[in-house]
Chain A
Amino acid sequence: MYDGGKIVVGLVVFIGVVTFPLWYRQASGEALRAPEPKIVTDAKECVAPTDYMRASHQAMLNEWRDLVVRDGMRVYVAFNGQEHEMSLSNTCMKCHPNKVEFCDQCHNYIGVVPYCWDCHIEPKESN
């Protein structure tokens, strides 16, 4: 093979550059950091089991929205018998008023930007 050394070096550099996005975050340790949403409420339980909330709160919010606006239903009796008004600003954000330290922690990590806050009013953060 002519210029074998150069080709091999070139290939290594090429593969390194192409795969850069894959290993850089691992190597820098940044990806290992999991988001840490901070819970400030005194309540013990959310409106649904924590696992479900973590995975499916966005689906639940959509369901609430349609039930309230389209079906005129307003009250949600949760799995633990607690009654809640189905409202984003008046329910979720009353127990989770620290949007920046809670909702945004996860959302910034995975890069979702819920557009709900264009209309729904964010709680005033104390800091």
Chain B
Amino acid sequence: MERSRRNFLKISGICLLGLGVKPVVHALAKNEQPQILPGPDAMTAKRWAMVVDTKKCVDDCRDCIDACHQTHNVPDFGNPKDEIKWIWHEYYGHAFPGQEHEYEAEEIERKPFMVLCNHCDNPPCVRVCPVQATWKRSDGIVMMDYHRCIGCRCCMAACPYGSRSFNWRDPRPYIKETNPEYPTRTKGVAEKCTFCVERLAVGLMPACVEACKHGALVFGALDEPDSPIREILRSNFTLRRKPELGTRPQVYYIV
């Protein structure tokens, strides 16, 4: 073909027309594609958080722990060295180190404090994970992808709250009652509380919150000024664990 300016312009014009066709074809083809949705009942927020009202906690109550560990197939190895913890009891001096003193009220000293992953705003575990198996979601939940975990345990070293546990052994034989709806973990991965993302996704409150008969655990959206959790934070003096470390924890305690 003769290489003239006229021909060049013609071909350019046809090519440009072709570009215009692409979105049309795309739109037509899309109709047959499957759709991906978050689920009709999913609860959403810009920032989830929890308040633990330790005044309402009853001394020997384990309802929240049992509910959580049952729902998520958390094993009980029966020895503290291998223990897997999502939510557990800690004593005052351990939960709030530096705050304790010799003349503490006996009640505070004896009382177990519920502790769990703080879903920090500035989570050190996320910074150190070499494979992005853990990350902060847009709603503030520090999520964990067990599929991607390589078991390096950097997150455990980074977490100042001991909220991460490692599966040194196969957990399956140590799970009393298996919940078939939720996967177990396997030897060689780290695990922790995920604020029950799988329950929030179907419109349910976290298992521990639902199980607490005394209303000691309150879960909600910090970004909504009228939410119950904001009301509680407004009207009570609250503490956070080790705030001086700059992790900006999002589990608040009424002591």
Q: Report the separation of the CA atoms of residues A77 and B33 in the bound assembly, to the nearest whole angstrom.
A: 9
Q: A69-B145, A121-B183 are in contact. Are A48 and B38 (CB under 8 A)?
A: no
**Is A75 an interface residue when CB atoms closer than 8 A count as contact?**
yes
Q: Report the separation of the CA atoms of residues A120 and B185 in the bound assembly, to the nearest whole angstrom.
A: 8
Contact among A65, A73, A120, A123 with B36 in the assembled complex (CB-CB below 8 Å): A73
A-side contacts of B40, CB under 8 Å: 75
Q: Flag A47-81 by CB within 8 Å of B: 1 or 0 each.
A: 01000000000000000010101101111111100
The B contact surface, by secondary structure, is loop
Q: Report the separation of the CA atoms of residues A118 and B185 in the bound assembly, to the nearest whole angstrom.
A: 7
A-side contacts of B145, CB under 8 Å: 69-70
What range describes how many residues of B lie at the interface? Answer: 20 to 34
B-side contacts of A72, CB under 8 Å: 38, 42, 137, 197, 201
Q: Pick the most buried of A77, A78, A79, A118: most chain B CB atoms within 10 A of its CB.
A: A118
Total contacts A to B, CB within 8 angstroms? Answer: 57
Contact (Cβ within 8 A) B184 A119: yes
- Return the chain B residue nearest A74 by Cβ: B39
**Is A89 an interface residue when CB atoms closer than 8 A count as contact?**
yes
Contact (Cβ within 8 A) B202 A74: yes
Q: A72-B197, A120-B183 are in contact. Are A78 and B34 (CB under 8 A)?
A: yes
What range describes how many residues of A lie at the interface? Answer: 20 to 34
Q: A72-B137, A72-B201 are in contact. Are A67 and B36 (CB under 8 A)?
A: yes
**Is A90 an interface residue when CB atoms closer than 8 A count as contact?**
yes
Contact (Cβ within 8 A) A121 B36: no
A-side contacts of B201, CB under 8 Å: 72, 74
Contact (Cβ within 8 A) A75 B37: yes
Contact among B38, B183, B185 with A74 in the assembled complex (CB-CB below 8 Å): B38
Contact (Cβ within 8 A) B37 A73: yes
Contact (Cβ within 8 A) A75 B39: yes
Q: Report the separation of the CA atoms of residues A74 and B183 in the bound assembly, to the nearest whole angstrom.
A: 16
- Return the chain B residue nearest A64 by Cβ: B36
**Is B32 an interface residue when CB atoms closer than 8 A count as contact?**
yes
A-side contacts of B184, CB under 8 Å: 119, 121
Contact among B32, B36, B38, B181 with A79 in the assembled complex (CB-CB below 8 Å): B32
Q: Report the separation of the CA atoms of residues A119 and B74 in the bound assembly, to the nearest whole angstrom.
A: 12
Q: Report the separation of the CA atoms of residues A75 and B181 in the bound assembly, to the nearest whole angstrom.
A: 16
Q: Report the separation of the CA atoms of residues A67 and B181 in the bound assembly, to the nearest whole angstrom.
A: 18
Contact (Cβ within 8 A) B186 A89: no
A-side contacts of B183, CB under 8 Å: 89, 119-121
Contact (Cβ within 8 A) A121 B178: yes
- Return the chain B residue nearest A121 by Cβ: B180
CB distance from A45 to the nearest CB of B (A): 13
CB<8 Å pairs between A and B, sample of 14: A69-B145, A69-B147, A70-B143, A72-B38, A72-B201, A73-B36, A73-B39, A74-B202, A75-B38, A76-B35, A78-B34, A119-B186, A121-B178, A123-B180
The 6 residue pairs across chains A and B that have the minimum distance between CB atoms: A77-B35, A119-B183, A118-B186, A74-B39, A75-B37, A120-B183
